[in-house]
Each structure stands twice: as C-alpha cells, then as structure tokens.
Amino acid sequence: MEFNYLEREIDDLILEIINDHAEDEKVWIFLESFSADRKIDALSKLYDTYFAMAKFPKHFKEKKRKLFQSLNEVRINRNIYIHANWLNEFNGDLVEWKTKRLKSGEYGHVHKKISIADLDDDLNRIVNIHEELFEFHEEITQRFYNSY
C-alpha cells in the first residue's frame, strides 16, 4: 500500500510538471498506461529538463541520482513481493518469486528468503524515500521557478 501511495505521488509530480491542470482526465488516462519504472524514468527526465534550463549546484544532480536509484530499488523489491508465490512457503521464510530456465534446459523455481523484518525494513524505506522525493521536488521546483 505504501508503494502505491509513493507511485501516486510520482504521478502527481509528473502531472504538476507537465500540466497546470493535474485534474485533467486526459492526462491521467495517459499516465495510467505507464508502469512504475516508466513513471520513475519519466519523472527523472523531467527533472533533467529543469537542470538543463536553469543553473543548479552540482549536489542537486547527485542527490537526484541517489534518490532515483533508491526509487528503482524499492520498485524492484515491491515487484518481488507482488510476484512471489506466498502460498508455497518453504522452510518458513523462503518463497517462490520467479520461474526461470535452468542450465539443464528445464524450468525451476527461484526462491527468496523474506522475513517479517525484511518487510518492515522495506516498508520503512518506502516511507522515507517518499518523504525524500517530496522534499526534493519542493526544493528543485522552488529553485527552478525562482531562477526566472
């Protein structure tokens, strides 16, 4: 649920940058067709346009790079949780999370160890990244609009 809230925030930020009328249904329909990774990439590129149009201190680009690296990491972890087969739990904390072709040519299940502590850590990380993203957006847009 927290990742969905984070993804919705990404939607809102994209809409704020590209359209003064974020409530415009046409824009929402377009954006809804994007996967989470495409939304993250689109927002990153929109921030790059700010960097190209106005002068920013170098630390902004590094801050953006780290933030978007973190966004992609939580997106990947979220996909593991969503696509895991929680019905077939092995050894109490191993879950099937994908099927892949083995070197022998056969298919097998890949298992991932996931504990309650892992889930709590990832949830806290998503919440923290969400806050970082909001603060970054406020800082970069304020600096951008004050440069004109």
Written in H, E and C, the secondary structure of the chain is CHHHHHHHHHHHHHHHHHCCCCCCHHHHHHHHCCCHHHHHHHHHHHHHHHHHHCCCCHHHHHHHHHHHHHHHHHHHHHHHHHHCEEEEEECCCEEEEEEEECCCCCEEEEEEECCHHHHHHHHHHHHHHHHHHHHHHHHHHHHHHHCC
Query: pLDDT at position 65, please?
Result: 96
Predicted confidence band of residue 21 (pLDDT cuts 50, 70, 90): low
pTM for this entry: 0.81
Query: pLDDT at position 140, please?
Result: 92
Q: How much is the average pLDDT of 5-13? A: 87
Determine how β-strand 107-113 pairs with β-strand 94-101. antiparallel
User: Minimal CA–CA distance to 116: which of 136, 88, 89?
Assistant: 89
Judging by beta carbons within 10 Å of its beta carbon (0-12, 13-18, 19+), is residue 80 exposed, middle or buried?
middle
Query: pLDDT at position 30, please?
Result: 79
